[in-house]
Structure 1
Amino acid sequence: MHNFIELLKREFRLFASNSVVMAIFIGAPLLYGLLLGAVYSKGKVDNLPVLVIDMDDSPMSHRAIDMLDESDVLAVTVRFDNQDINQAIIDEGYEAVVTIPYRFEADIIQKRHPEIQVEVNTANILPANYAAKAIQVALGTFNAGIEIQSLTKTGMPLSTAKASYEAFSVNYARFFNKAANYMTFLWPGVLGVIIQQVFMLAMALSFAREQEENTFVTEFYPRVKNPWYAMLIKSLPFWLMGMGVIAALWAMFPLFKVPLQVHAWGMIALLAALILSVTMMGITVSLAIPSQLKATEVLMVIATPSFILSGFTWPLSQMPDWVVVLAETIPLTHFLEGLRKLMFYGANLVDILPQLHGLLYITLFFTVINLVLFKTLPRLKKAKPASR
C-alpha cells in the first residue's frame, strides 16, 4: 500500500509538472464546454434574412409580404427589381429569395394560378431548412386564406368554405426535444467528444513523456512489476480528476438551461465505459509510439473524423457499410448513441446495453493489445525490478 500511494503521488507530481497535459485535461473541457454552450445557447434560429422581390407591387403582394414578415424566423427585405441578386446574396447573406411575379393580384382574381418562386440558399443546410419551412407555412396560410375568402364571396358560409378547401387536416406534433432546440440536441454530444479526446490525449502524453525521458524503464516499471498495475497507476489519477471535470461539465447544463433528466445508473455506466475504452486506446498509442508529438498526431487523426463518423448528426444507416464498420471501432459512436437514448428517449440501463457492450468490446480489444505490447517491447524487457 505504501508503494501504491507513493506511485500515485508520483503520477500527480508528473501531471502537475506537465503544463500541456494540465491545460488539455482540466482547462480544455471547461473552456470548450462554456464556449460551445455560449455558441449554441440560443437553441433556435430566428431573424433569418430573406429577400422578397415584389414585381407586382399590389395590395395582394403586400399581404403576402406581411405574412412572411410576421414569422419570427424570417427578417424580410423587399425589393422591386431582380437586378444583381447574386451580389445581394453575397453582400447580405440572404437565406432565401422569394419572387412575387408581375400581375400576381390580377392573375389570382382571374383564377390563372400565378406562381411564387422561392429559391433557398442551401450553402448552409440548417438555416436553409428553417427558412424554407417558415416560408412554406406563411405562404400556405396566405394561400388558404385567399381560397376561403374567394369561396365566401360567392355566398358560401365560412364554415362550409373552410370544409370545401380542406378535404382533410393534418396535425403535426413533436416528441423527444419538442422545441426542436439545437442546443439541446448538439451540445451534450460535443461534450462527449471533448471527454473522449482529453482522456485519450492525457493518457498518451503521460506514457509517452516517461518513455521519452527513459524514466518509464528506469523508475516506473521496475516498481510496478506487471502490466495491470502499471495501467492502473497511470490511469487512476486521470480517472479521479476526470470525475471533477465531468461534475463541472454537468453543472453547465442548468447554466445553459439544457434539460438533463436521465437514468442515473445508465449515465454512470455509459460514462465509465467510455472513459475505460478511451483510456485503453490512449495507452495503446503511447506504448506503441514513445513520442509525445507523434502520439498526439496519431490521436488527432483518430479524433478529427470521430464526431462525423459517430452517426450523431448524419445517421449511420445512410453511410456505406465499410464506413459503419469503421465507425463502430470508435468509442464515441457507441457513447453518443447511448446518450441519445438516455437524454431524449428516457431509456434506462437495460436499453443501452448494446452500446455498453460495444464500448466494452473496444476496451477488451485494446487491453489485449496493451498486454502484448508490455510483453514484447524490448525497452520494457530490459527493465529490472527496483531494489528494496
Structure 2
Amino acid sequence: MSALRAASHAFLLTWQSIFRDKAALLLFFISGIVYSFFYPLPYSAETVRRVPVAIVDQDHSALSRQLIRYAGAHSAILVVAVSTRPEAAQKLIWQGQAAGAMIIPADFSRKVLAGLQPEIDISGHGAYPLLNKVVLNGLAEVAGTVSAGIELKRLSAMTPSGTQAEASRQPLGVEALPLFNVREGYASYIVPGVVVLIMQQTFLLGIGLLFGSWSSEKSFPYAQDAASYCGALTAFALVVALNAMYFFGFVFWWQDYPRGGNLAGTAMLTLLFAYSVAALGMLIGMFFRTRERSMQLLVATSLPIMFLSGLTWPASAIPAPLQVLGWLLPSTAAIQGFVATNQMGASLHEVRMELAGLLGLATVFVVLGLRKWRRIVPPR
C-alpha cells in the first residue's frame, strides 16, 4: 500500500508541476492545439492546382491552338503566356512567373497530317519538386488527350462507328481508385505522420524543461524509489495519451483525414508510444542541469528525426546504419504504426514489428531511467 501511495503522490506532484509551470503547460497542451489548426492550414487545398505555365507556339496551326485550349482547360494548369520564342518562356521561369513550359515545334501539324509522330518539349522548374511534378503530369495529360483524339479520328475512318474506334484503341478500360488517401491529397499524406513527431518532440522538450528547472533550483519533488518513478512516468504518459486522443479523435475528424481504420490497434500503439516517449523524456531530462538545455539540444533534432522515420523519405533508400538509428526513437515505429492502423486499417499482426519496437524501447528506457533516477535523486 505504501508503494501505491508513493506512486499516487508522485502522479499528483507531476500534474501540479505541469500546471504551475507556464512553459511546460504551453508545450504539453497549448502547442498541440495551435499546431492542430495552423500546421494543416497551408495544405488545406490537399492538391496543387492552377500552376502557371508558359507555352511556346511555333506552329500557329489549328491543331496547336487546340492544344493550347486544352492546356488552359486543365484544372492543374494556368496558362499565363503564349509566345513564339523559347527565350520568353525561359525568362518567365527565371522570374518566378511560370513553373514550366511547353514548346510546340513548327512542324507539329505537318507531321500529324503526314501520319508521323511529332514531339512536344515539356519542361518544369526543378527547384520546386511539387510544382514540377504537377506541371509535367498536367502537360503530359494534355498532350495525351490531344493525341488520343487524333488517333480516334484515324480509327474512325477505318471502322463503321466511333464506339468501335474507341474500343479498338483501348480494348481494356482502367479505373484507378485510391484505397486510403482517397483524395490523393498532400495533407492527408503528411499531417497524420507529422503530428506523431510533433507530440514526441514537444513532450521531450516539456519534460526536459521541468527536470532542468528542478535540477537548477535543487527542488526535486520526488522520493528516491521505484514507486515514485512509476507515478511520474504514468503522469507524463497520460499527457501523451490525452494529446494523441485529441489528434486522432478530434483533429483528424475536423480536418477530414482518413481515420478510424483499426481503433483497437491505434489504442494499443498509443499506450506503448505514450510510455516510451515519457520514459525517454525522463531519461534525457535527468541529464539536464538547466532549464534552457532541453531547448538548445532537442529543437534541432526534429528534422533529422523526420527523415529517419521513413515518412518523407523512403525507408528503403535510407542507409542501413541510419535505419537502425531511426528505430532507436519512438517516432519511427509510431509513425509507421499509426498510419497503418488509423489510416489503412492494418491489423495488430501487420504492425507487430512496430508494436514490438515500441515495447522494447519503453522497456529499455524504463530500465535505464530507473537506474539514473536512483543515482541522482536525493532521498527526501
TM-score (ref. length: structure 1): 0.88
Cross-structure match for 1:269: 268
CA apart distance, 1:289: 2.6
Secondary structure of 2:52's aligned partner:
strand
Partner of 2:77: 74
| Bigger mean CA deviation after superposition, 170-179 or 116-125 | 170-179
> Deviation digits for residues 260-315 of structure 1, max 9, x if unmatched?
12222211111111111111111111112322222332323443311111001221
Q: Which amino acid aligns with 1:41?
A: S
Displacement, 1:122? 2.4
Q: Hey, what does 1:212 align to over in structure 2?
A: 216
> Aligned to 1:215, what secondary structure does the other structure show?
coil
Question: 1:258 aligns to what?
Answer: 257
- C-alpha deviation, 1:254, in angstroms: 2.3
**Cα distance in 1 between the residues matched to 2:242 and 2:101:** 50
Q: Which amino acid counterpart does residue 272 of structure 2 have in structure 1?
A: A
In structure 2, relative to structure 1, the CA distance for the partners of 1:235 and 1:4 (3 Å cut) is: closer
- Aligned-pair identity in percent equals 22
Contact 1:30 1:245 survives alignment (8 Å): no
Stretches of structure 2 that go unaligned for 5 or more consecutive residues are none
- Which residue pairs with 1:63 in the alignment? 66
Deviation at 1:225, TM superposition (A): 3.0
Q: CA deviation at 1:62?
A: 0.8
1:351 counterpart residue number: 350
Q: Secondary structure at the match of 1:304?
A: helix
2:293 aligns with 294
Residue 292 of structure 1: SS of its match in structure 2? coil
Offset at 1:351? 2.5
Mapped contact 1:203–1:235 kept (Cα < 8 A): no
From 207, 231, 235, the equivalent of 1:233 is: 231
Q: Secondary structure of the residue that 1:43 maps to in structure 2?
A: coil
For 1:255 and 1:53, the matched residues in 2 are separated by: 44
* Structure 2 letter corresponding to 1:197: Q
Q: Quote the Cα distance in structure 2 between the aligned partners of 1:353 and 1:98.
A: 49
Q: Distance in 2 between matches of 1:4 and 1:153?
A: 85
What's the offset of the Cα at 1:156?
Answer: 6.3
1:337 maps onto 2:336 in alignment: yes
Q: How does 1:47-196 map to 2 (within 5 A)?
A: 47-80=50-83, 81-153=85-157, 157-159=161-163, 161-162=165-166, 165-166=169-170, 170-196=174-200
Q: 1:344 to 1:286 in 2, by over 3 A?
A: closer
1:37 aligns with 2:40: yes
Separation of aligned partners in 1, 2:252 and 2:216: 40
Does the residue aligned with 2:46 lie in a helix, a strand or coil? coil
The unaligned stretches of length 5 or more in structure 1 are: none
Displacement after TM superposition at 1:142 (Å)? 0.8
Aligned residue pairs: how many?
A: 375
For the residues of structure 2 that align with 1:262 and 1:175, how far apart are their CA atoms?
A: 12
Partners of 1:16 and 1:375 in 2: CA distance: 26
TM-score by length of structure 2 reads 0.90
CA deviations 1:339-381 (Å, max 9, x no partner) are: 121134311233222101101111122222213323444xx3x
Q: Tell me which amino acid in the other structure corresponds to 2:49.
A: D
Aligned partner of residue 258 in structure 1, secondary structure: coil
